[in-house]
Structure 1
Amino acid sequence: MRTIDFTPLNRFAVGFDRMQRQLESMAHLDETASAYPPYNIEVLGEDAYRITMAIAGFGIEDLDITVQDTRLTVSGRVESDDKPVQYLHHGIAMRAFERRFELADHIKVNSAEMNNGLLHIELVREVPESLKPRKVEIKGTGSKPKAIEQKAA
């Protein structure tokens, strides 16, 4: 596998450390590790999202959801009861997992709910008033004041 060295970018980019770390982590992704458990990311509205993970066999007590800075981490571990089981077919994985999601700025985890083997994590974008678009009045001599209007990106 080829690796990409991002260190030459460090000479020209100041304050983009988080973006560089994300690019480096994406370059080192292991495809087999990212396949379990399966998940969906839904857009519910302009500022609302939902992550749905299929985690059959896990109970609420087996799951852990943590948010640190802009990283959402969902992990699961089922405690084995050490009884030997003889399977004719073993298709339900129920193996330990840790799934990480990088959240955009101002995305907050609103709630989490488990229903029928699906874990639903509700996300909402809360942009502070100081960062929302605003109108700026233009003053001039001899003319009527004009305003510049900005639209949200």
Structure 2
Amino acid sequence: MRHLDFSPLYRSTVGFDRLFSMLDSAGSETPSYPPYNIERTGENTYRITMAVAGFTEDELSVEAKEHVLTIKGEKADEDTDREILYRGIASRTFERRFQIAEHVRVDGASLENGLLHVDLVREIPEAMKPRKIDITSGSTKQIETTAH
């Protein structure tokens, strides 16, 4: 795989360090198990869907801490009474981390049909939302003063 060098861009940008660091790390080898999707379900809602066939709710954990969403799967000890001739369904332990934005919170998680769904909501504080500023003509505004 070809590696891109973003170091010349660091010198000409301010405040985008995290973005370039994420782009740098995206080029490196990342684990592919378990497979997942990230989808936008609304204007401010998102969903991460992860294929976790063979795992129960007790064997999965979802934790959000300091802008990092961590999903872990720890398989309980399997029965040693049976002999598996072919293993096509992976049942190994995994840990997957996702960087989440500052105003995104985890709304809930559910497990159905071997898919773990983690719902996310972006909540922008009122102070950070865009607001409309009325424009007035400079000559029409009068300042009232009282004489003492």
State the TM-score, normalizing by the size of structure 1. Answer: 0.77
Q: Does 2:62 match 1:65?
A: yes
- The answer to which structure has the higher strand fraction is 1
Give the superposition deviation at 1:60.
2.1
Percent of aligned positions with the same letter in both sequences?
Answer: 49
Task: Give the alignment partner of residue 90 of structure 1, picking from 83, 87, 105.
Answer: 87
Q: Does 2:25 match 1:25?
A: yes
Structure 1 residues 139 and 125: CA distance shift in structure 2, 3 A: same
Taking the aligned partners of 1:82 and 1:6, their CA distance within structure 2 comes to 50
Taking the aligned partners of 2:42 and 2:84, their CA distance within structure 1 comes to 44
For structure 1, the 5+ residue unaligned runs are 145-153
Q: Does 2:7 match 1:11?
A: no
Taking the aligned partners of 1:84 and 1:25, their CA distance within structure 2 comes to 43
Runs of 4+ in 1 over 6 A off after TM superposition: none
Give the aligned residue type for 1:132. Answer: K
Decide which structure has the larger Cα Rg and report it: 2
RMSD between superposed Cα atoms in Å: 2.3
Q: Give the SS at the match of 1:40.
A: strand
Q: Give the SS at the match of 2:19.
A: helix
The count of aligned residue pairs is 141
Give the superposition deviation at 1:78.
0.8
Q: Give the SS at the match of 1:137.
A: coil
Q: Give the SS at the match of 1:20.
A: helix
Taking the aligned partners of 1:68 and 1:80, their CA distance within structure 2 comes to 28
State the TM-score, normalizing by the size of structure 2. Answer: 0.79
